[in-house]
Amino acid sequence: MVLSLSSIVASFSSFIFCFTILLHSSSFGAEARYSPITPISSLISKSLFDSIFLHKDDSACPAKNFYTYESFIQASKCFPAFGATDSLTTRKREIAAFLAQISHETTGGWATAPDGPYAWGLCFKEEVSPQSDYCDSTNKEWPCYPGKSYKGRGPIQLSWNYNYGPAGKALGFDGLRNPEIVTNSSLVAFRTSLWFWMTERKPKPSCHSVMIGKYVPTQADIAANRTAGFGLVTNIINGGLECGLSDDGRVNDRIGYFERYAGLFNVDTGPNLDCAYQKSF
Protein backbone atom coordinates (compact mmCIF):
# COMPACT_ATOMS: atom_id res chain seq x y z
CA MET A 1 0.00 0.00 0.00
CA VAL A 2 1.30 3.44 -0.95
CA LEU A 3 0.47 6.24 1.48
CA SER A 4 -0.40 9.67 0.16
CA LEU A 5 1.67 12.67 1.15
CA SER A 6 -1.29 14.11 3.09
CA SER A 7 -1.65 10.86 5.08
CA ILE A 8 2.03 10.85 5.92
CA VAL A 9 1.91 14.49 7.03
CA ALA A 10 -1.21 13.86 9.13
CA SER A 11 0.34 10.83 10.81
CA PHE A 12 3.58 12.69 11.53
CA SER A 13 1.66 15.70 12.90
CA SER A 14 -0.35 13.44 15.18
CA PHE A 15 2.85 11.79 16.40
CA ILE A 16 4.48 15.16 17.15
CA PHE A 17 1.33 16.38 18.91
CA CYS A 18 1.09 13.34 21.17
CA PHE A 19 4.83 13.34 21.83
CA THR A 20 4.59 16.96 22.96
CA ILE A 21 1.81 16.01 25.37
CA LEU A 22 3.92 13.20 26.77
CA LEU A 23 6.90 15.47 27.35
CA HIS A 24 4.74 17.77 29.44
CA SER A 25 2.79 15.04 31.20
CA SER A 26 3.53 14.55 34.89
CA SER A 27 2.87 10.83 34.50
CA PHE A 28 5.17 10.25 31.52
CA GLY A 29 7.66 7.57 32.43
CA ALA A 30 6.57 7.62 36.05
CA GLU A 31 4.28 4.63 36.30
CA ALA A 32 5.67 1.30 37.42
CA ARG A 33 5.04 -1.82 35.36
CA TYR A 34 3.82 0.13 32.35
CA SER A 35 3.09 -2.32 29.52
CA PRO A 36 3.51 -0.76 26.06
CA ILE A 37 2.84 -4.10 24.37
CA THR A 38 -0.86 -4.06 25.25
CA PRO A 39 -2.62 -1.35 23.22
CA ILE A 40 -6.08 -0.24 24.29
CA SER A 41 -7.62 -1.76 21.19
CA SER A 42 -6.57 -5.23 22.33
CA LEU A 43 -8.51 -4.77 25.57
CA ILE A 44 -11.57 -3.02 24.17
CA SER A 45 -12.51 -3.97 20.65
CA LYS A 46 -15.03 -2.05 18.58
CA SER A 47 -17.58 -4.77 19.20
CA LEU A 48 -17.10 -4.48 22.97
CA PHE A 49 -17.25 -0.68 22.75
CA ASP A 50 -20.52 -0.95 20.82
CA SER A 51 -21.96 -3.42 23.33
CA ILE A 52 -21.09 -1.02 26.16
CA PHE A 53 -22.66 1.99 24.45
CA LEU A 54 -25.71 0.31 22.99
CA HIS A 55 -27.72 3.48 22.40
CA LYS A 56 -25.19 6.29 21.92
CA ASP A 57 -26.13 6.67 18.25
CA ASP A 58 -29.89 6.45 18.70
CA SER A 59 -31.94 9.32 17.30
CA ALA A 60 -32.93 10.17 20.89
CA CYS A 61 -29.33 11.07 21.72
CA PRO A 62 -28.15 14.62 20.86
CA ALA A 63 -24.61 13.27 20.44
CA LYS A 64 -25.68 10.74 17.80
CA ASN A 65 -22.65 9.66 15.69
CA PHE A 66 -20.31 12.02 17.58
CA TYR A 67 -18.48 9.70 19.98
CA THR A 68 -16.76 7.18 17.72
CA TYR A 69 -14.66 4.20 18.68
CA GLU A 70 -11.94 5.40 16.32
CA SER A 71 -11.70 8.78 18.09
CA PHE A 72 -11.47 7.07 21.48
CA ILE A 73 -8.63 4.83 20.34
CA GLN A 74 -6.81 7.68 18.59
CA ALA A 75 -7.13 9.92 21.67
CA SER A 76 -5.77 7.18 23.94
CA LYS A 77 -2.53 7.09 21.93
CA CYS A 78 -1.60 10.44 23.49
CA PHE A 79 -1.85 8.86 26.96
CA PRO A 80 -0.10 5.48 26.63
CA ALA A 81 -0.15 4.74 30.38
CA PHE A 82 -3.96 4.73 30.33
CA GLY A 83 -5.21 1.16 30.52
CA ALA A 84 -1.65 -0.11 30.14
CA THR A 85 -0.23 -0.07 33.68
CA ASP A 86 0.13 -3.00 36.07
CA SER A 87 -1.75 -6.31 35.74
CA LEU A 88 -4.27 -7.21 33.08
CA THR A 89 -7.04 -7.01 35.68
CA THR A 90 -5.93 -3.53 36.76
CA ARG A 91 -5.77 -2.34 33.17
CA LYS A 92 -9.27 -3.59 32.38
CA ARG A 93 -10.66 -2.20 35.63
CA GLU A 94 -9.24 1.25 34.87
CA ILE A 95 -10.81 1.31 31.42
CA ALA A 96 -14.14 0.16 32.88
CA ALA A 97 -13.96 2.87 35.56
CA PHE A 98 -13.17 5.58 33.01
CA LEU A 99 -16.01 4.52 30.71
CA ALA A 100 -18.39 4.34 33.69
CA GLN A 101 -17.59 7.87 34.78
CA ILE A 102 -17.98 9.37 31.31
CA SER A 103 -21.20 7.40 30.86
CA HIS A 104 -22.73 9.00 33.94
CA GLU A 105 -21.59 12.43 32.78
CA THR A 106 -23.21 11.99 29.36
CA THR A 107 -26.09 9.61 30.08
CA GLY A 108 -29.42 9.67 28.35
CA GLY A 109 -30.85 6.73 30.26
CA TRP A 110 -33.68 6.46 32.74
CA ALA A 111 -34.91 3.81 35.15
CA THR A 112 -37.07 1.94 32.63
CA ALA A 113 -34.99 2.67 29.52
CA PRO A 114 -34.58 -0.07 26.90
CA ASP A 115 -31.74 -2.43 27.95
CA GLY A 116 -31.66 -0.70 31.33
CA PRO A 117 -30.38 2.70 32.49
CA TYR A 118 -26.72 1.69 32.17
CA ALA A 119 -26.79 1.13 28.41
CA TRP A 120 -27.17 4.81 27.58
CA GLY A 121 -23.78 6.44 28.06
CA LEU A 122 -22.34 9.02 25.63
CA CYS A 123 -25.79 10.32 24.74
CA PHE A 124 -25.00 14.03 25.30
CA LYS A 125 -21.98 16.04 24.24
CA GLU A 126 -22.74 19.20 26.22
CA GLU A 127 -24.58 20.20 29.35
CA VAL A 128 -28.30 20.85 28.93
CA SER A 129 -29.69 24.05 30.48
CA PRO A 130 -26.53 25.12 32.36
CA GLN A 131 -27.23 27.23 35.43
CA SER A 132 -24.35 29.62 34.72
CA ASP A 133 -21.49 30.26 32.31
CA TYR A 134 -19.12 28.50 34.74
CA CYS A 135 -16.74 31.43 34.88
CA ASP A 136 -14.70 31.75 38.04
CA SER A 137 -13.79 35.42 37.81
CA THR A 138 -11.46 35.13 40.79
CA ASN A 139 -9.14 32.87 38.79
CA LYS A 140 -6.60 35.24 37.24
CA GLU A 141 -4.36 32.52 35.79
CA TRP A 142 -7.11 31.34 33.44
CA PRO A 143 -9.29 34.43 32.87
CA CYS A 144 -12.64 34.02 31.15
CA TYR A 145 -13.03 35.37 27.66
CA PRO A 146 -16.01 37.70 27.18
CA GLY A 147 -19.13 36.01 25.94
CA LYS A 148 -17.82 32.46 26.37
CA SER A 149 -19.45 29.72 28.40
CA TYR A 150 -17.39 27.08 30.16
CA LYS A 151 -20.31 24.73 30.67
CA GLY A 152 -19.86 20.98 30.66
CA ARG A 153 -18.71 19.57 27.33
CA GLY A 154 -17.33 16.27 26.10
CA PRO A 155 -17.28 12.82 27.71
CA ILE A 156 -16.09 14.08 31.11
CA GLN A 157 -18.25 17.22 30.82
CA LEU A 158 -15.24 19.51 31.18
CA SER A 159 -16.39 22.57 33.14
CA TRP A 160 -15.06 25.93 34.38
CA ASN A 161 -12.42 28.21 32.93
CA TYR A 162 -9.76 26.80 35.26
CA ASN A 163 -10.18 23.42 33.54
CA TYR A 164 -10.68 24.61 29.95
CA GLY A 165 -7.54 26.78 30.11
CA PRO A 166 -5.03 24.13 31.18
CA ALA A 167 -6.71 21.42 29.09
CA GLY A 168 -6.32 23.57 26.00
CA LYS A 169 -2.73 24.39 26.84
CA ALA A 170 -1.89 20.71 27.24
CA LEU A 171 -3.79 19.57 24.15
CA GLY A 172 -3.01 22.34 21.70
CA PHE A 173 -6.18 24.45 21.52
CA ASP A 174 -7.31 27.74 23.05
CA GLY A 175 -9.64 26.50 25.76
CA LEU A 176 -10.58 29.98 26.94
CA ARG A 177 -11.32 31.59 23.56
CA ASN A 178 -12.59 28.47 21.81
CA PRO A 179 -14.19 26.12 24.35
CA GLU A 180 -16.73 25.03 21.72
CA ILE A 181 -14.10 22.89 20.00
CA VAL A 182 -14.76 20.21 22.62
CA THR A 183 -18.21 19.69 21.10
CA ASN A 184 -17.08 20.22 17.50
CA SER A 185 -14.38 17.52 17.43
CA SER A 186 -14.86 13.98 18.70
CA LEU A 187 -11.08 13.52 18.94
CA VAL A 188 -10.60 16.69 21.01
CA ALA A 189 -13.55 15.68 23.20
CA PHE A 190 -12.01 12.30 24.06
CA ARG A 191 -8.58 13.89 24.53
CA THR A 192 -9.97 16.34 27.10
CA SER A 193 -11.60 13.52 29.05
CA LEU A 194 -8.39 11.49 29.09
CA TRP A 195 -6.37 14.59 29.99
CA PHE A 196 -8.64 15.12 33.01
CA TRP A 197 -8.37 11.44 33.95
CA MET A 198 -4.58 11.26 33.70
CA THR A 199 -3.59 14.64 35.15
CA GLU A 200 -2.84 15.28 38.82
CA ARG A 201 -4.30 18.58 40.02
CA LYS A 202 -3.13 19.03 43.59
CA PRO A 203 -4.49 18.52 46.16
CA LYS A 204 -6.36 16.02 44.01
CA PRO A 205 -4.51 12.97 42.71
CA SER A 206 -5.17 11.79 39.17
CA CYS A 207 -8.01 9.35 38.59
CA HIS A 208 -5.44 7.16 36.85
CA SER A 209 -3.18 6.90 39.90
CA VAL A 210 -6.15 5.92 42.06
CA MET A 211 -7.33 3.15 39.75
CA ILE A 212 -3.88 1.62 39.26
CA GLY A 213 -3.15 1.57 43.01
CA LYS A 214 -0.49 4.31 43.06
CA TYR A 215 -2.49 6.81 45.13
CA VAL A 216 -0.68 7.71 48.36
CA PRO A 217 -3.02 9.58 50.74
CA THR A 218 -1.74 12.67 52.50
CA GLN A 219 -2.52 13.38 56.14
CA ALA A 220 -5.37 15.57 54.94
CA ASP A 221 -6.70 12.69 52.80
CA ILE A 222 -6.56 10.31 55.75
CA ALA A 223 -8.40 12.79 57.98
CA ALA A 224 -11.05 13.19 55.25
CA ASN A 225 -11.40 9.40 54.86
CA ARG A 226 -10.48 9.62 51.19
CA THR A 227 -9.78 5.92 50.67
CA ALA A 228 -8.66 4.48 47.34
CA GLY A 229 -11.28 3.08 45.01
CA PHE A 230 -13.93 4.08 42.49
CA GLY A 231 -15.55 6.34 45.09
CA LEU A 232 -12.42 8.47 45.29
CA VAL A 233 -12.52 8.93 41.51
CA THR A 234 -16.06 10.25 41.88
CA ASN A 235 -14.75 12.59 44.58
CA ILE A 236 -12.07 13.90 42.20
CA ILE A 237 -14.63 14.51 39.46
CA ASN A 238 -17.55 15.97 41.41
CA GLY A 239 -17.01 15.44 45.11
CA GLY A 240 -18.15 18.92 46.09
CA LEU A 241 -21.70 18.05 45.07
CA GLU A 242 -21.90 14.27 45.47
CA CYS A 243 -19.63 13.08 48.28
CA GLY A 244 -20.29 13.03 52.02
CA LEU A 245 -23.93 12.18 51.34
CA SER A 246 -25.73 8.97 52.18
CA ASP A 247 -27.17 6.96 49.29
CA ASP A 248 -26.74 9.74 46.72
CA GLY A 249 -28.50 8.91 43.45
CA ARG A 250 -25.76 10.38 41.27
CA VAL A 251 -23.08 8.32 43.00
CA ASN A 252 -25.24 5.21 42.72
CA ASP A 253 -25.64 5.86 38.99
CA ARG A 254 -21.88 6.00 38.53
CA ILE A 255 -21.54 2.74 40.46
CA GLY A 256 -24.26 1.10 38.37
CA TYR A 257 -22.36 1.85 35.18
CA PHE A 258 -19.10 0.62 36.70
CA GLU A 259 -20.61 -2.66 37.85
CA ARG A 260 -22.07 -3.32 34.40
CA TYR A 261 -18.84 -2.50 32.59
CA ALA A 262 -16.65 -4.44 35.02
CA GLY A 263 -18.84 -7.44 34.29
CA LEU A 264 -18.36 -6.98 30.54
CA PHE A 265 -14.59 -6.83 31.08
CA ASN A 266 -14.81 -9.86 33.40
CA VAL A 267 -13.10 -8.12 36.33
CA ASP A 268 -14.21 -7.18 39.84
CA THR A 269 -14.83 -3.57 40.80
CA GLY A 270 -12.52 -3.47 43.80
CA PRO A 271 -13.49 -1.89 47.16
CA ASN A 272 -14.77 1.54 48.19
CA LEU A 273 -17.24 2.16 45.41
CA ASP A 274 -18.95 5.19 46.93
CA CYS A 275 -17.80 8.37 48.66
CA ALA A 276 -20.58 8.70 51.20
CA TYR A 277 -18.13 8.98 54.10
CA GLN A 278 -15.49 11.02 52.31
CA LYS A 279 -15.02 14.76 52.57
CA SER A 280 -14.61 16.48 49.23
CA PHE A 281 -11.33 18.08 48.20
Q: What is the pLDDT of residues 154-208, one digit of tens each?
A: 999 999 999 999 999 999 999 999 999 999 999 999 999 999 999 999 999 999 9
| CB of 187 closer than 8 Å to CB of 171 | no
Mean pLDDT for 218-222 is 98
Distance between CA atoms of residues 135 and 145, nearest Å: 9
Burial class (CB in 10 A: 0-12, 13-18, 19+), 177: middle
Q: Is the pLDDT of residue 252 over 70?
A: yes
> Which CATH entry fits the domain spanning 24-125+185-265: 3.40.50.10800, 1.10.530.10, 2.40.37.10, 3.40.50.300?
1.10.530.10
Q: How far apart are the first and last CA of the chain?
A: 53
Q: Is the pLDDT of residue 218 over 80?
A: yes
Percent of the chain with pLDDT over 90: 85
Catalytic residues: 105
Q: Is the pLDDT of residue 15 over 60?
A: no
**The 3-state secondary structure of 198-246, one letter per residue:** HCCECCECCHHHHHCCCCCCCHHHHHCCCCCCHHHHHHHHHHHHHCCCC
Q: Is the pLDDT of residue 243 over 70?
A: yes
Name, in order, each residue with C-beta under 8 angstroms of 104's C-beta and a sequence gap of 6 or more.
121, 250, 253, 254, 257
Please state the domain extents for the chain.
Answer: 24-125+185-265
Mean pLDDT for 69-86 is 96
**What local confidence, expressed as pLDDT, does residue 39 receive?**
76
For the whole model, what pTM was predicted? 0.89
